[in-house]
């Protein structure tokens, strides 16, 4: 069994609260074997260079942790790029300059810097926004300079906060089109477990879309907690693995220098049970 958390924000993200070292300490306590620190590069129309992200600090902190935790935890240099297809020069400069292990790409904002989290889902035309989101997600997927797409059905997270349930299976045609491009390009999706500890109470995406990705021929799955606090590192990873297994995956994917490697999910039942209890407690705390 591979317990890996491939979506974690350190205090090198403006909304992260703990250092890479604190995160690694927590990851070891939680029984994880590998993590990727995926700090935000979140350019906007008014702030295309996004100087808030300092790749040198991020790289330095990651290398320091790699050395300090060697033999105990594999620490990968990741990044979460928000809407990079709209800022290809800025995003490309980072990708061409720094030795990332793993690149997660997400659509957080619509043009006009409309954040998916700022929409009033109670009064807005939810279908319109979901379709807009998917339209831009497709553009992102076509850009293709990433390894996996982050939280594919993100609007679900924020709509749930407003008491509204969204299923992206209602937009199956658009979702399938996106998944097919990903698969053709050998790219993956993540199972983002943050929804389990938020209002949605499910992963982003959940089993239905993970299954659809698998049925269309997808082979690249990562699992990430989207932790912004050290205390959330590893939360829900067991549930993520269960979803991957149920969808038919025997392996999850990890990355080294942008190259995918596959780790078998199953292992001897006893070790799994111990880990599972631990991470379940971590998930429920």
* Sites of contact with Zn ion (CB under 5 A): 80, 106, 150, 226
Alpha carbon distance 57, 211 (integer Å): 38
- Nearest distance in Å: CB 215, Zn ion: 25
Q: With respect to Zn ion, which residue has the nearer C-beta, 150 or 195?
A: 150
- Phi, psi angle pair for 128, to nearest 5°: -60, -45
Alpha carbon distance 101, 72 (integer Å): 18
Q: With respect to Zn ion, which residue has the nearer C-beta, 80 or 206?
A: 80
Q: With respect to Zn ion, which residue has the nearer C-beta, 12 or 106?
A: 106
Residue in the shown chain whose Cβ atom is closest to Zn ion? 106
- Nearest distance in Å: CB 201, Zn ion: 18
Q: With respect to Zn ion, which residue has the nearer C-beta, 1 or 220?
A: 220
- Nearest distance in Å: CB 8, Zn ion: 8
DSSP-assigned states of every residue in 51-76 = TT--HHHHHHHHHHHHHHTTTT-EEE
- Nearest distance in Å: CB 50, Zn ion: 14
Whole-Å CA distances, 285 to 59, 201, 204, 215, 247: 31, 14, 20, 34, 27
Cis check for the bond before 114: say yes or no (omega within 30 of 0): no
Alpha carbon distance 219, 189 (integer Å): 9
Q: With respect to Zn ion, which residue has the nearer C-beta, 101 or 226?
A: 226
- Nearest distance in Å: CB 75, Zn ion: 17
């Amino acid at each position: 069994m591979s317990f890996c958390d491939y979506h974690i924000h350190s205090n090198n993200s403006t909304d992260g609260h703990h250092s890479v070292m604190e995160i690694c300490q927590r990851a070891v306590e939680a029984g994880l074997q590998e993590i990727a620190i995926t700090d935000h590069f979140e350019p906007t129309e008014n702030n295309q260079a996004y100087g808030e992200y300092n790749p040198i600090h991020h790289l330095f902190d990651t290398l320091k942790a790699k050395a300090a935790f060697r033999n105990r935890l594999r620490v990968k240099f990741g990044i979460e790029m928000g809407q990079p297809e709209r800022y290809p020069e800025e995003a490309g400069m980072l990708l061409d300059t720094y030795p990332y292990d793993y690149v997660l790409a997400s659509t957080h904002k619509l043009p006009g810097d409309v954040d998916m989290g700022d929409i009033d889902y109670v009064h807005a035309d939810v279908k319109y926004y979901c379709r807009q989101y998917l339209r831009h997600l497709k553009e992102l997927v076509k850009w293709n300079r990433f390894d996996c797409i982050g939280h594919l059905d993100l609007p679900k997270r924020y709509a749930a906060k407003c008491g509204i349930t969204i299923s992206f299976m209602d937009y199956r045609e658009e979702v399938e089109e996106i998944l097919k491009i990903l698969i053709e390009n050998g790219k993956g999706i993540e199972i983002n477990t943050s929804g389990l500890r938020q209002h949605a109470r499910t992963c982003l995406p959940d089993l239905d879309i993970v299954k659809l990705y698998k049925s269309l021929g997808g082979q690249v799955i990562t699992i990430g907690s989207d932790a912004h606090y050290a205390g959330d590192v590893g939360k829900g990873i067991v549930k993520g693995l269960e979803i991957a297994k149920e969808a038919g995956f025997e392996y999850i994917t990890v990355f080294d220098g942008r190259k995918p490697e596959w780790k078998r999910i199953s292992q001897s039942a006893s070790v799994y049970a111990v880990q599972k209890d631990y991470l379940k407690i971590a998930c429920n705390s």
